[in-house]
Amino acid sequence: MTAIRQLPLSRLGHLVPPLVDGAALVALMPVTNDLPWAAKAAWDIARIAARDGRRVALVDLCLETPALHETVGLHATEGIVDAFEYGVSLNKAAHEVTGVFIIPAGSETAHPAEVYAHARWPKLQAGFRSEGALLLALLPRAGLAQLSATPDGVIVLAPDGVSPAFAPGRDVPVLGVVRDRWLPSSPRVSPPPMMIPGEEEPRRGVRFALAALVVAGLAVGGWALLARARESTLQATPPAPAPAPAPALAPASSSPLPAPTHATIPKADTLGWTIQLAAYASLDKALAHADRLAADAGVPALVTPVPQSGTGPVWYRVLAGSYTTRAAAGMARADLWHRGVAAEGVGDLLLAPYSYHAPRGATLEMLRHRGLPAVRWSNGVILLGAFEAPEQAAFTQAALRRAGVRANLLPRMGGGPP
């Protein structure tokens, strides 16, 4: 019997792309009761597959216990059940998040077998194949057995691995088994959702181009998804001009925060380089990820709100560490991969030297209660965000003014990791 290929989380960035190259439909099958862990692993696989510009959709077919929508930061919304049972357009059910089209489970269904056996799956598979796109289906073993289309392969999601005699329950090639590590060695901790980087900086201009994604065309009654600029970059929107200085507004609560001392003129020798590991639609989730990095990995992290164009959502970047050079940030990223803090291939190097320094007397709890992305840095100061240029801080500056907090935007001059 051929040994099943092991795919430890720390090496997904290198191992996944060749496995899904040329495939149109790949099943992601959890073999674990920890479905949030499986959803996070599926999310990492999808972003890695889309990292080089391939068009990828990930659908949650764990219909009885869906977890994908929470993992990617979507509120309860229409999904695949609504599309198949109630005629909702797949355009409406699909949501682009960090370069991947997410199709959540949607409404509850009393007939999951009918969703798996729906006649549209072979047509969707043919549409994805004709476009060179990839459809990833997160589904249980029973769903794989009942699926009306035959996947090009299955990737098993099993944090502790599977036995050599494992079979998926259907004559489908097993491409590999995603597990926490090569071999069990210590208690498992589910990894946080991670941002898969787009192209590196020299190709930044290309990353922002809009591209139309047309999948499964007329064969399924028309599903055309317009691929917006990839949200994994989060720099697509030119920063809004910073509002002109205005008098301080009244504090949001009865306990006013004192005004800071006069701002310092920015210097060039800052600890401006950082590593973007994730982006969330929820501030609370981003702050929780930053807190875990500081507490569990010893890496101080910042959270930066970045609004999308027009009336688009606000994404909250999680930025790990602060370094003097790009090379130093790259070495730190390699260390995060080595320690398993981030999956290999995860982490965008970013020059974002400016942060808001909270005024003296402000507390972390007070600032967070007012909806501000405050974190305690390694030298004890409280910082809010990390920005590539002062103009990019306009959204956070407006939030500070609404909260009645007067903070200075300064370059980070120390207190980060070496």
* pLDDT tens digit sequence for 90-115: 888 888 888 899 999 999 898 999 99
If asked whether residues 314 and 175 sit together in one domain, one would say: no
If asked whether residues 181 and 55 sit together in one domain, one would say: yes
| Per-residue CA distances from 347 to 193, 278, 318, 333, 379 (Å) | 12, 8, 10, 7, 24
- pTM (two decimals): 0.49
If asked whether residues 39 and 134 sit together in one domain, one would say: yes
Over the stretch 219-254, which tens digit does the pLDDT of each residue have?
Answer: 333 333 322 223 333 333 344 444 444 333 334 343
Domain boundary among 208, 227, 246: 227
Residue 265 within any structural domain of the chain: no
Residue 194 within any structural domain of the chain: yes
Of the candidates 87, 86, 16, 24, the one whose C-alpha atom is nearest the C-alpha of residue 55 is 24
| For range 322-335, the mean pLDDT | 90
- Tell me the one-letter amino acid at 212: A
Enclosing domain of residue 123: 6-227
- Counted domains in the chain: 2
- Assess contact for 102 and 95: CB atoms under 8 A: yes
CA dihedral 169, 172, 175, 176 (to 10 degrees): 0
Is the pLDDT at 325 greater than 50? The verdict is: yes
If asked whether residues 206 and 315 sit together in one domain, one would say: no
If asked whether residues 287 and 168 sit together in one domain, one would say: no
Of the candidates 159, 178, 161, the one whose C-alpha atom is nearest the C-alpha of residue 12 is 178
Query: What's 165's domain CATH number?
Result: 3.40.50.300
Residue 94 within any structural domain of the chain: yes
Q: For residue 61, what are the contacts with CB-CB under 8 A and spacing of at least 6? A: 80, 105, 115, 116, 137, 138, 139, 140, 143
Is the pLDDT at 169 greater than 60? The verdict is: yes
- pLDDT (0 to 100) of residue 389: 84
What does DSSP say about strands 25-30 and 134-138: parallel, antiparallel, or unpaired? Answer: parallel
Residue 106 within any structural domain of the chain: yes
If asked whether residues 215 and 135 sit together in one domain, one would say: yes
- pLDDT (0 to 100) of residue 135: 96
If asked whether residues 282 and 182 sit together in one domain, one would say: no
Residue 239 within any structural domain of the chain: no
If asked whether residues 108 and 28 sit together in one domain, one would say: yes
| Per-residue CA distances from 293 to 288, 317, 349, 380 (Å) | 9, 13, 17, 16
**Average pLDDT score, the chain:** 77
Phi and psi angles of residue 75, each rounded to the nearest 5 degrees, phi first: -75, 165
Residue 260 within any structural domain of the chain: no
If asked whether residues 87 and 211 sit together in one domain, one would say: yes
- Assess contact for 178 and 155: CB atoms under 8 A: yes
